[in-house]
Amino acid sequence: MAIGTAVSPLLLRLYFLKGGTRKWLSSWLETAGWPLLFIPLAISYAHRRGGGGPTKLYLMTPPLFLACTVLGLLVGLDDFLYAYGLSYLPVSTTSILISTQLGFTALFAFLIVKQRFTSFSVNAVVLLSIGAVILGLHASGDRPQGESNTLYYWGFFMTLAAAVLYAFILPLVELTYAKAKQVVTYTLVIEMQLVMGFFATVFCTVGMLVNNDFHAIPREAREFALGEVRYYVLLVWSAILWQFFFVGTVGAIFYGSALLAGIILAVLIPITEVLAVVFFHEPFSGGKGVALALALWGLASYFYGEFLESKKKKPVVDPGLLDSGHN
């Protein structure tokens, strides 16, 4: 999840900086790597077969498949909103807007899955939200030269809409796990992500067909500033690394919660900002440094709270049993 969150936006922005213009293509790349998930599924199937006895080829039930279809279409829409915004905004500004998703994730998690908050998780949300505000106050100098106000604000609102929609999707994924009416395992989580990735890609493929993106790819590759070969290499690695992001996110929800996934995303935002400074020479202000420190503080607060909660749940051994010689 860390690799996908930190690196994928940089590759997508590089595509636009070096001459790429196809918004539906760039949104399509965010989930087009879904066939890669057949690799872990095949390994899991072989492992189950090795245990002996009959083995189902897949674990997903029809109602769960339908739920993942709807989630996949929502993810496809979110992909387009995000890609559209990033085509007009620097990575740093996009990251600022995406970081607002944490507050919305906390709200939706409370409403949809009745997320229980502790003082530590509330502290983490507050710290990360303050960091997002600080980044926003220092974003005025990030507007690309020569870009019209109309396009800049279109990108601004599209990215903000993407943040809100994804904050809504995360608790829905957690709710789907809870309502699955079957044992949710690693294999089932990967199956669910595969279905979501497939239908998100179908959604973006329709957009590409309407926009004639498939016909434009060869021409765009020839005119790409980094060369034709690097153009296709960039597309392939974008698809791979975005899968890292999505698989990591559903894994964080499965092993933790939607709120945990939102916190990790918010923590990684300043790291993406630092990488944008290194590779794209975007300005790094003192505000970004403060936001990075607050992000790390917020993450430490959250995990410290989880550590204390886990200690409370550990069974306590009766000292009398130890005194009497019983284990």
Q: How far apart are CA 214 and CA 212, in angstroms?
A: 6
Give the per-residue pLDDT at 317: 45
What does the block give as tokens for 206?
A: 């329709």
Q: Residues 216-270: pLDDT tens digits?
A: 999 999 999 999 999 999 999 999 999 999 999 999 999 888 888 888 887 787 7
pLDDT at 157 > cutoff 90: no
Q: How far apart are CA 211 and CA 209, in angstroms?
A: 5
pLDDT at 176 > cutoff 90: yes
* Selected residue with higher pLDDT from 256 and 210: 210
Q: How far apart are CA 244 and CA 34, in angstroms?
A: 10
The mean pLDDT value for 16-22 works out to: 88
pLDDT at 298 > cutoff 80: no
pLDDT at 301 > cutoff 90: no
* Selected residue with higher pLDDT from 128 and 193: 193
Give the per-residue pLDDT at 324: 46
Q: Using 50, 70 and 90 to split pLDDT, how confident is the model at 29?
A: very high
pLDDT at 203 > cutoff 50: yes
Q: How far apart are CA 91 and CA 5, in angstroms?
A: 12
Give the per-residue pLDDT at 201: 97
Round the average pLDDT of the chain to a whole number and report it.
83
pLDDT at 11 > cutoff 50: yes
Exposed/middle/buried for residue 261 (C-beta within 10 Å: 0-12, 13-18, 19+): buried
Percent of the chain at pLDDT > 90 equals 39
The mean pLDDT value for 7-21 works out to: 88
* Selected residue with higher pLDDT from 286 and 170: 170
Q: Residues 78-134: pLDDT tens digits?
A: 999 999 988 887 776 777 677 777 777 888 888 888 877 778 778 877 877 777 677
Q: How far apart are CA 229 and CA 231, in angstroms?
A: 5
Give the per-residue pLDDT at 318: 47
Which of 58-67, 287-296, 315-324 has the least mean pLDDT? 315-324
Q: How far apart are CA 289 and CA 134, in angstroms?
A: 10
